[in-house]
Structure 1
Amino acid sequence: MSHAKRFPQSIYSLPSDNNRLTLGSVPRHEDPLLERLHRKQRLAAAYRLFARYGYEVGVAGHFTARDPIHPEQYWINPLGVPFSQITVSHLLRVDSNGQVVEGDGVLNTSALELHHDLQQARPEVVGIAHLHAFHGRVWSSLGRLFDPITAEAGAFEDDQVFFRRHDLRTAGGALEQDRDIVSRAFVETFAQHNLLIWQNHGLWVTGETVESAAWRFILAEDTARAHLLAHSAGTPSIPQAESPEGSRDKARHEFFGWLNFLPLWDLIRTEEPDLLD
């Protein structure tokens, strides 16, 4: 019996030769309706995983997926539905005016302009995730980026920025509250990076697929935990920067982010198949 029949894992459906993957880029659905369903299923699965990892704090946190049919719109979780209960049918489609055009539920309006403006500035971005996970929140209070103290942390080298929200003040010194000004500064700071550490608030990530964005957030939260533990134990060793020839290849990182999500997708879809409802 072949591996594909004995094991239902997604990776066995990918093209390979002599037990080695021959796929080097993320596959896409040519049918936009199938691509929409794909993104919604992975989005619901990511919320279930985030619940398992303890990333949920009250009604805080949001993960959006750009709609492939209406690229100026996105899918998001409804406010107040526990991440552990999110299903495909719960998801809301939101237009560029911040109005729900598909789905039933209460909309979390706390960061609509941030998701929308970032999507419009970066047409390659599909997934945008911001959860109030514990270690990322704590690390964000230190005013520092990640150092490449582990192989996993190295994934963020030259791909991270720090956003000092409290630097946005009016001429009189009061904290600027204008949403357009905050969103503009947020988008300009994020630029083309995939990780933004918002001071005293937590982590934001982007991805060219739902899968890569979800994996990137999981990896960033794990990296924040590793940094806090390492610094509490002593002074971590930081290797010298790589040569220019070893600079990061974004397409490669996107592919491996997508690939790393596959076993998590297989885990959650088999153990909690109701997420597909």
Structure 2
Amino acid sequence: MLDLGQRKSIYQPEQQDLIFPEEPNYATPAEEREDRKRRLVAACRAFAQHGLDYGFAGHLTIRDPERPDLYWTNPMAVHFAQVRMSNLILVDHEGTVVEGRHAVNRAGFVLHAAVHDAHPDILAMCHAHTVYGTAFAATGRALEPVTQDACAFFEDHVVIGKEAGKVAVENAAGTDVAAAFKGVKAAIHQNHGLFTASRHSIDAAAFWFIALERCCQQQLAIDASGSQSIRVPDDKARYSREHVGSEYIGWLHFQPILDHLLQSQPDMLA
């Protein structure tokens, strides 16, 4: 392993005084709450930019910093492109809206609440009904490390086969999804789609969702070509995952997306 010194990643510059994203520090819980909400809105807007919307399906969540038994989420039946600070809702694990005027997505509450309840370390979670992720989920396969991008998920995602394809509207439906998220950042729910979770930030959860969707697209393109893909050897896949698949790297990847959205879509802060 490389000696990184005080750095979290090889991508952090060794040279001092260069412009580079810095993880935020907060003076108060209120300041952290506003930043988490801002980043949640940015994640929703990023999903819109990447075409990850499908009607009212799709839900992103982040815990409240002072009340970790509550989580902020996007409002029901509002397009990702129209989510903003003022229409986010705060929800408890029973599905009660504590703050906000909009309803909560039933499936989002059932699945995300179960994961947040079962894993106090998980801060954020993302799910959407996407073209490539849903198509790949129908194969019931795990993602193979056939690209450097896919190596980020090597031994860090699972396939959930139980209750595959059944719409998650009953509370018990979240149990299997919650159980799957022990020590991994992503799950492929057979015949349903993709889930990502982060113990670090909504930034990381959102980027890894976008990345997983892209990896599914790559794998389906390889399958459609009829060519035999060359699998990255396990040791090299693990090495790549350690350097390009961490929570910090997911957060770092999201920063240019966040900066672009803050500059191009200032209405998201309204």
TM-score normalised by structure 1 residue count: 0.84
Q: SS in structure 1 opposite 2:103? A: coil
Residue 16 of structure 2: aligned partner: 17
Residue 205 of structure 2: aligned partner: 213
Q: Structure 1 residues 235 and 127 mapped into 2: Cα distance closer, same or farther (>3 Å)?
A: same
Asked if 1:187 corresponds to 2:184, the answer is: no
Amino acid of the structure 2 residue aligned with 1:256: I
Residue 150 of structure 1: aligned partner: 147
- 2-side partners of 1:132 and 1:227: how far apart? 18
Choose from 206, 221, 232 the match for 2:224: 232
Q: Percentage identity across aligned positions?
A: 32
Residue 201 of structure 1: aligned partner: 192
Choose from 120, 123, 126 the match for 2:120: 123
Tell me the CA shift for residue 21 of structure 1: 5.6
Q: Structure 1 residues 59 and 228 mapped into 2: Cα distance closer, same or farther (>3 Å)?
A: same
Tell me the CA shift for residue 96 of structure 1: 2.5
Residue 28 of structure 2: aligned partner: 31
Q: Structure 1 residues 248 and 28 mapped into 2: Cα distance closer, same or farther (>3 Å)?
A: farther
Choose from 95, 103, 119 the match for 1:98: 95
Residue 8 of structure 1: aligned partner: none
| Count of aligned positions | 256
- 1-side partners of 2:240 and 2:66: how far apart? 34
Q: Check whether the contact 2:107–2:169 (CA below 8 A) recurs between aligned residues.
A: no
- 2-side partners of 1:258 and 1:96: how far apart? 26
Q: Structure 1 residues 241 and 275 mapped into 2: Cα distance closer, same or farther (>3 Å)?
A: same
- Could you tell me which runs of 5 or more consecutive residues in structure 2 were left unpaired when the two chains were aligned: 1-12
Q: Check whether the contact 1:56–1:133 (CA below 8 A) recurs between aligned residues.
A: yes
TM-score normalised by structure 2 residue count: 0.86
Tell me the CA shift for residue 75 of structure 1: 0.7
Deviation digits for residues 185-229 of structure 1 (CA, Å, limit 9, x no counterpart): 221122221110000110000012010001000100110100110
Residue 264 of structure 2: aligned partner: 271
Alignment of 1:56-135 (within 5 A): 56-135=53-132
Q: Structure 1 residues 148 and 177 mapped into 2: Cα distance closer, same or farther (>3 Å)?
A: closer
Tell me the CA shift for residue 243 of structure 1: 6.7
Amino acid of the structure 2 residue aligned with 1:65: I
Tell me the CA shift for residue 104 of structure 1: 0.9
